[in-house]
Amino acid sequence: MVVAHHRTDSLTAHTARRAADRLEAAGYHIDLLDLHAEGFDPRMNTSDQPDWGNREKVYSDEAHAHMRRVLDADVVVAVFPVYWQSVPAILKGWIDRVWNYGFAYGRSKPRLAGKRMLWLALAGATADDPVVEGMRTVLETNLSEGIAYYCGFSHSTVGLLTDAEERPQRVDAEGNLLVGAAVTGAEREAQYADLDRRAREFVERFVAEELVGC
């Protein structure tokens, strides 16, 4: 489980913990990779690509350590806030450095073939915001098609969790960002309980699909 948020008290971190609990209850062993807590450097460097075209190249020690963790996993779950209809820089950098040429792709038989991927993406947009449909399409295209399936994963699902902000946000027909008053009290508790429920449903559906596949 890969967590990409700089605060341990964030809704993203909370959602990751809840997802881990559900997976453990289903019999999974969790290797929690908190990218910020572990001090992962997202910047690509020459030690990760001493010779880009050589798929047998030796990567940096940090990249190798993360590669081993990915290889040991049957399922990879990434939990992150949506930034500009994409993943945060630290998660993108983790993919750039770790899912490197010769490791994640570039072989006739991908090393990650057959693994499964769940992306849990928290977005501040409200569920009725017209931007959500396009956001979901962009994330599915980039993350499932452009990354997971390209690297040989057998299954990839994007679970988009809207209404993740305490102040409701949406874009009107003229492109103006409308930010509402902060949700408080019982209404706020209900909002976050609903987000928990939707996240749980994504995880449970993902687990059920894997069991059917087995």
pLDDT for 66-120, tens place per residue?
999 999 999 999 999 999 999 999 999 999 999 999 999 998 888 999 999 999 9
Tokens found for residue 194? 């609903």
Helix, strand, coil percentages, rounded to 5, for the chain: 40, 15, 45
The two structure tokens encoding residue 125: 């947009």
User: What's the CA gap between 28 and 74, in Å, rounded?
Assistant: 10
How does pLDDT run across 127-143, given as a tens digit for each residue? 888 889 999 999 999 99
Helix axes 11-25, 185-213, angle to 10 degrees: 40
- The string of DSSP codes covering 62-98 is HHHHHHHHHHH-SEEEEEEE-BTTB--HHHHHHHHHH
Predicted confidence at residue 1, as pLDDT, reads: 97
pLDDT digits (tens, 9 = 90+) for 158-176: 999 998 987 777 777 777 7
Confidence class for position 51, pLDDT limits 50, 70, 90: confident
Angstrom distance (rounded) from CA 159 to CA 148: 14
Residues pairing with 77 in the sheet: 118
122 CB-near residues (< 8 Å, 6+ apart):
11, 12, 15, 79, 80, 81, 82, 161, 164, 195
Q: DSSP label at 23?
A: H
